[in-house]
Chains A and B, each alone.
Chain A
Amino acid sequence: MNKGDFMYEKKTIDKKYIIFIVVFVVALVLGITNAIIMNKEDLSPIEKAMKDATLTVTKILYKPVQVVKDKMKEYQEKQDLYEKYKELEKKVKETDLIQSEKEELEKEVESLKKTLELNRTLSESSYLNATVVNRNIGYWYNTITIDKGSYNGVKKDMPVIVSEGLIGKITKVTSFNSTVKLITSDDVNNKISVKIKVNDKYVYGLLSGYDKKKQTFIVEGISDNTEIPKDATVTTTGMGDSFPSGIVVGKVKRVTTDNFDLAKTVEVTSSVDYDDLSFVTILKRNDQ
């Protein structure tokens, strides 16, 4: 064997070795990622402490910026103060009527719950307001971080809403912060049972995804043949562990059926302004 042959042989072995390492590393990365991302367990105490400490620094740094942001918003709002005043005046006049209606409905709900043995409705929840600390940093995960944690009674899987409707649920909780997974997430496991109000009855379906191009939610699995009108309200059903019944998801934009007119797909637009998610509300169950 001359010197050239020896060098050639050595180079071949190196290549095989590199391919083995690359394959091993890729498999390891995929394995670890799968185990971590699909893991529904709580964060470890060390992770919680590190996350809280770093987010506290972020909040301190963000404070002066937030003051400027609020002042600018305040200035913009002052521009149309008169229109808002008129609108509020009108709403105040309607309040008395709504109050008496609400009392009547509460009695009705109570009696219906007893009859139907329902155990989860929106009226059983209390509200906890929170401020958004950061928004969708991981991009693919579609999450936001809020400034309330287990110290404030926040627990995993609690629904998170804004005044216009549902936005997501709590997935991770530390002492003073929580992560909210948005319902606009592409996550294939993120499905929610919903109902669509058509006249006096409900049509049930499954909110299975979000179309980023059209910016609409997709509701599938509707077996009912009832005609679904445009602008019908879509709310949660209360089936499953996470969301109580009656949280608004959005309004029907369009209904399409397959070639055999069997399966309906409903496009739903949310009235939530995802461009301006600064304050959110956590729905805490009163028994939690």
Chain B
Amino acid sequence: MQLAIIITIFSFFLESIVSNFVSINSQLFLPLFSIVALVIIYPYLKKERSSYFKIAAVLGFFYDVVYTDTLIVNLILFVFTAYFIEKINYALSNNYFNVAIITGLAITFYRVITFLVLVIIGYLPFSWYALFLGITSSLLLNMIYAIILYTITDFLSQKYHITKID
């Protein structure tokens, strides 16, 4: 549980810092480390399902307040994404390759539902290109981050005998 919270807080702040090094119009390297954190912490909270969803909700809430000024929108979307991550984890076990795949799917899911919600309420015009760019621009950097974070947390969990269900 402690490791999961540390990963989440670390990723949340890192996302903000890294955004300063990436072009706003970047088509490859947009950080979405908060979602990656949800992917990485899941194996550590598999037995504490409610804690996992609580962390997702709190993370979404802070994301709303600090980054997007959209109180509780991301709270709901992060919980949905956490549920989606849980479902994929039933089908895929955790290893380097699968962590990258799960991260890619989770980011795609998050971007698609956010885009659809914003289109339906009339905030954004619908465009396949915008949606495609929204997804592809966030995949590469976050997959790399997911693999690095997985390596570090895997090492720490083995060293300090932290329970992890892959």
Contact = CB atoms under 8 A, between A and B. Distances in A.
Contacts of A62: 16-17, 20
B51 interface: no
A37 B64 CA distance: 11
B93 interface: no
A132 B20 contact: yes
B71 A61 contact: no
Interface stretch (A3-11, A28-36, A107-115, A258-266): A28-36
Contact of B62 (A54, A133, A187, A189): A54
A277 B125 contact: no
Contacts of A98: none
A38 B123 contact: yes
B: contact size bracket: 35 or more
Contacts of A88: none
Contacts of A137: 15-16, 19, 31, 67-68
Interface in A88-117: none
Given A51-B66, A186-B130, A212-B129, A34 B121 contact: yes
A251 interface: no
A182 B24 CA distance: 10
Nearest to B120: A30
A137 to B, nearest CB: 4
B62 A36 contact: no
Contacts of A186: 124-125, 127, 130
A50 B25 contact: no
Contact of B123 (A58, A61, A187): A187
A274 interface: yes
A32 B73 CA distance: 7
Nearest to A211: B129
A148 B124 CA distance: 28
A58 B106 CA distance: 25
Interface in A30-56: 30, 32-34, 36-38, 43, 47, 50-51, 54-55
Given A33-B73, A65-B17, A137-B19, A54 B65 contact: yes
User: Contact residue range for chain A?
Assistant: 35 or more
A34 to B, nearest CB: 4
A129 to B, nearest CB: 17
A36 B138 CA distance: 25
B71 A33 contact: no
Given A33-B117, A36-B73, A50-B66, A215 B25 contact: yes
B25 A274 contact: yes
A61 to B, nearest CB: 6
A175 interface: no
B23 A275 contact: yes
A236 to B, nearest CB: 21
B69 interface: yes
B65 A188 contact: no
Contacts of B15: 137
A135 interface: yes
6 contacts: A29-B76, A34-B122, A134-B67, A144-B24, A212-B133, A274-B24
8 A-B pairs with least C-beta separation: A275-B23, A138-B68, A34-B121, A137-B67, A134-B16, A54-B66, A135-B19, A274-B24
Given A34-B122, A37-B121, 19 more contacts: A32-B72, A32-B76, A33-B70, A36-B71, A37-B73, A61-B17, A69-B20, A133-B16, A135-B19, A136-B24, A137-B68, A140-B118, A141-B69, A143-B68, A145-B67, A171-B69, A172-B69, A186-B125, A276-B23
Interface of A: 29-30, 32-34, 36-38, 43, 47, 50-51, 54-55, 57-58, 61-62, 65-66, 69, 132-145, 171-172, 179, 182, 184, 186-189, 212-213, 215, 274-278
Interface of B: 13, 15-17, 19-26, 30-32, 62, 65-73, 76, 111, 114-115, 117-118, 120-125, 127, 129-130, 133-134, 137-138
